[in-house]
Structure 1
Amino acid sequence: MKAIAPADIIPHQEYERQREAFRANIIALKQRRRMSVGPCITMVFENRATVQFQIQEMIRVERIFDPVKVQDELDVYNALLPTPGELRRYSFNAIHESHQGRDWDCYVTVHGTIDPMTGMVTDIGALDRLVQDRVIKPFDRQDLRQVLGSETVRGEVLAKTIWDRLDGYLSGGTLHNIRLVSARDLVYEVSP
């Protein structure tokens, strides 16, 4: 998928004029790209339009006008875009540390050959069941200090634990990356 470039960003005043229509289109798009995984968790399969909306909103809310800072936003959000042969998904409230009050967003990247019949790298339903069984159910609303056997929960350890729980269990494709986001500046990644 083509990365979002500075030229793709709608200037601030123009974005304000068309924001409501743009937002309505993205909400409708995300409804079609949203999948429920249990009673408290939904996933949105991101694409170029949904990621551009996130960038536009971040620039709007934080009033980012410096081209260097705009490029920083582009670099962060372009990492969410799948490349050919990849499937990426975004989970909301996937893992909750009840004692620390953290919600984690978990991105799972799978690489592989696109199946010509389905147009997918892996069976999404099987991937959802795998994540539900091996990550969500064991971790959701649990004290992760007890689950991980550690006094403190470090994001990099949690990301590696999730990697270990998924690697080798996919029904198709290869696990390429686990990315956990706890807050805007707390990002943890594991790759082979």
Structure 2
Amino acid sequence: MVYLTRLEHFNAAHKLYNPNWSLEKNESVFGPCANENFHGHNYELFVTVKGKPDPDTGFVMDVKKLSILIRENVIKKVDHRNLNLDVDFLKGQMCSTENVVIGFWNILAPLMPEGVQLHCLKLYETPRIYVEYFGE
């Protein structure tokens, strides 16, 4: 099995705020991330697929096609958007990096071509904070 990773980038705003909690509790749990005016990140999304190289091309998947698939189905929905307000698949959810990456998985996994599986998504919120998701 060969693993191929493509890196994509997007910018987005969000806030972490539980409407069932008081302002004080939200600020206590989420700190500045509960800012009522939102805040933004420069996200890095690593998409790893796995499969056997095609005998004719030597590719697990054409990386240009993988990039187009990611950009058309995920990046266009979130880039320069407010994750809390503008993104359909996040409506009614806490817009944590964990929930965002699960949403991405749910979009991308069914779009993989025959013989290719989505293996892992790694989403960096900051250079020091990232989540990995392997599906469930």
TM-score w.r.t. length of structure 2: 0.71
Q: In the alignment, does 2:74 pair up with 1:154?
A: no
Q: In the alignment, does 2:5 pair up with 1:88?
A: yes
> Structure 2 CA distance, aligned partners of 1:191 and 1:151?
20
Computing the radius of gyration from Cα coordinates, the structure with the larger value is 1
Task: Please list, as runs of the form range in 1=range in 2, the aligned pairs for 1:168-187 lying within 5 A after superposition.
Answer: 168-172=110-114, 173-187=116-130
> Structure 2 CA distance, aligned partners of 1:190 and 1:116?
29
Task: Please list, as runs of the form range in 1=range in 2, the aligned pairs for 1:14-29 lying within 5 A after superposition.
Answer: none
Task: Please list, as runs of the form range in 1=range in 2, the aligned pairs for 1:1-192 lying within 5 A after superposition.
Answer: 85-92=2-9, 94-97=10-13, 99-146=38-85, 147=87, 148-150=90-92, 152-172=94-114, 173-192=116-135
> Structure 2 CA distance, aligned partners of 1:89 and 1:95?
17
8 A Cα contact 1:127 1:171, kept in partner: no
8 A Cα contact 2:11 2:40, kept in partner: no
TM-score w.r.t. length of structure 1: 0.52
CA displacement 1:146-180 (0-9 Å, x = unmatched):
21224752000000000001011012410000000
- 1 or 2, which has the higher strand percentage? 2
- 1 or 2, which has the higher helix percentage? 1
Per the alignment, residue 11 of structure 1 pairs with none
Shift of 1:110: 0.2
8 A Cα contact 2:6 2:63, kept in partner: no
- SS of the residue corresponding to residue 180 of structure 1 reads strand
8 A Cα contact 1:111 1:175, kept in partner: yes
The sequence identity of aligned pairs, in percent, is 27
- SS of the residue corresponding to residue 160 of structure 1 reads helix
- SS of the residue corresponding to residue 110 of structure 2 reads coil
Relative to structure 1, is the Cα distance of residues 151 and 174 closer, same or farther in structure 2, using a 3 angstrom cutoff? closer
**Structure of greater relative contact order (alpha carbons < 8 Å, 6+ residues apart):** 2
> Structure 1 CA distance, aligned partners of 2:72 and 2:46?
16
Shift of 1:120: 1.2
Shift of 1:97: 2.0
**Partner amino acid, structure 1, of 2:66:** L
